[in-house]
Amino acid sequence: MADVLLYTSLFIIWLMLFYHMFLMHGGYLYSLKHKKLEKEWTDEPVELPTVSILIPAHNEDVVIEQTIQSMIALRYDKTKLEVIVINDNSSDNTGHIADLYAAKHPFVKVVHTKPPNIGKGKSGALNQGLKHATGEVVVVYDADNTPEPDAVYYLALGIAKDKKAGAVVGKFRVTNAKQNLLTRLINVETLTFQWLAQAGRWYWFKMTTIPGTNFAIRRSILQQLGGWDEKALSEDTELSFRVYNLGYYIRFFPSAVTWEQEPETLKVWWKQRTRWARGNEYVIFKYLFSPMKNRTVTFDLFYFLFTYILFFSGIILSHGIFVSNLIFDLELSIGPISIALLITGFLLFVTEALIALSMEKGQLTFKNTLVVVFMYFTYSQLWVALVAYATVLEIRRVVFKQEVKWYKTQRFKQNT
């Protein structure tokens, strides 16, 4: 019996690991391909679209000023650019700061949400901002973002060059990576996610998901879709699926870089990630039973399903067997091959993370290598607990028909 459970968990886990292996491979190949593409597209002149940047902000006075400044510093024809800060029910200075900049810079606008459309979360704020947007293309930044000056140019370039791209997604980097161990871990995580999941899926399947910030989407599509889903906790994943359903794809274009702040305390991290996990689970079940037009998306949906339900169950099961085998003799028949699998699994994790780090300047350091090793035993395991927790919350929400509450990530003052 224990054997059956062990092999079941093993096959589930390794199915996922093989898929990740495959994605990482694609990510690497895409990194080679992308360099050529970037050069090709920038060398060839093209008419750039008008762009509306939406920045939803709810009590963001710690970071909003810097974000607006980075908008002003963008290298993009200002006649073709508008920046819309959506001050959503802030009780702090956010609205005031935004108004000051709007007064000085004509392309900066502020939308103060009004009842009843207040405090409806990020999706609600974006929908309010969208009403005022006039650009052909809508770009979204979180209030804590500092895009590089060329970020919007690259996003708009992607849209202009690729007619089939409903949206273009850039890359995000961590501003406070060196702040503490947690942010170092998050830094490794974000880089690996982007090169493995985003670039990998894009390379093999022409498929990425919108990460919630630093992406451009055709406004026509948003209007056709009726904006963002205000019930979704992770409105970005949800929106991605709908874009694919329209027959467009979402291009990954890592030349467009933004820098953002990541949680510096475990508590904030836990709340934020719980929201993501719950959001993704919401999306899985929203679309699992409704037919998808796009086969790749269905596949991706199953990937999500697999990750959140089976993969984590597999890991929990395998952990459970491992621990109980230390205490009781379960008479497992697997033998030394299990050690080979444990080591190989660990090395895959390490090498995949190191590939992602090696693609970024100055990231493949000895210290970061240690962080990766440490990550396997701590941060990754924390994720297991987190997904279990989020699943329990989601089940409870569905069973008791609870109202979703949007948790806004707490910001930290930057020592720049």
Is the CB of 18 or the CB of 285 nearer to another protein?
18
The minimum distance between CB 94 and another protein, in angstroms, equals: 40
Instruction: Kindly indicate which of the ranges 94-102, 104-112, 348-356, 388-396 contains the residues binding another protein, using the contact rule CB under 8 A.
Output: 348-356
Q: CB of residue 130 vs another protein: minimum separation in angstroms? A: 40
C-alpha dihedral (89, 94, 98, 99), degrees to nearest 10: 70
Q: Which is nearer to another protein, 15 or 292 (CB)?
A: 15
DSSP assignment of 221-289 equals: HHHHHTS--TT-SSHHHHHHHHHHHTT-EEEEEEEEEEEE----SHHHHHHHHHHHHHHHHHHHHHHHT
The least CB distance from residue 348 to another protein, in Å, is: 6
d(CA 330, CA 314): 18
Cα 171 to Cα 301: distance, rounded to the nearest angstrom: 22
Nearer to another protein, 156 or 315 (CB): 315
d(CA 323, CA 394): 28
How many chain residues bind another protein (CB under 8 A)?
27
Phi, psi of 328 (to 5 degrees): -110, 160
What is the x/- site pattern for another protein, positions 10-39, by CB under 8 A? xx--x--xx--x--xx--x-----------
Contacts with 356 (C-beta within 8 Å, 6 or more apart), sequence order: 24, 27, 188, 191, 192, 194, 195, 196
Nearer to another protein, 31 or 296 (CB): 31
The dihedral region occupied by 74, where left means phi > 0, alpha psi between -120 and 50, and beta the remainder, is beta
Shortest distance, CB of residue 359 to another protein, whole angstroms? 6
Q: How far is CA 363 from CA 123, 146, 199, 372, 378, in A?
A: 34, 19, 18, 12, 20
Cβ distance to another protein smaller for residue 21 or 382: 21
Helix (H) or strand (E) holding 139: strand 137-140
| Residue bearing tokens 């690259």 | 154
Q: Between 349 and 379, whose beta carbon lies closer to another protein?
A: 349
Among residue numbers 354 through 393, which ones bind another protein (CB under 8 A)?
Answer: 354-355, 358-359, 361, 364
- Closest separation in Å from C-beta 406 to another protein: 39
| Residue 30 beta carbon to another protein: minimum distance, rounded to whole angstroms | 12
Spell out, one character per residue from 305 to 344, where the chain touches another protein: x when CB under 8 A holds, - when not: ----------------------------xx--x--xx--x
Task: State the residues that interact with another protein by CB under 8 A.
Answer: 7, 10-11, 14, 17-18, 21, 24-25, 28, 333-334, 337, 340-341, 344-345, 347-348, 351-352, 354-355, 358-359, 361, 364
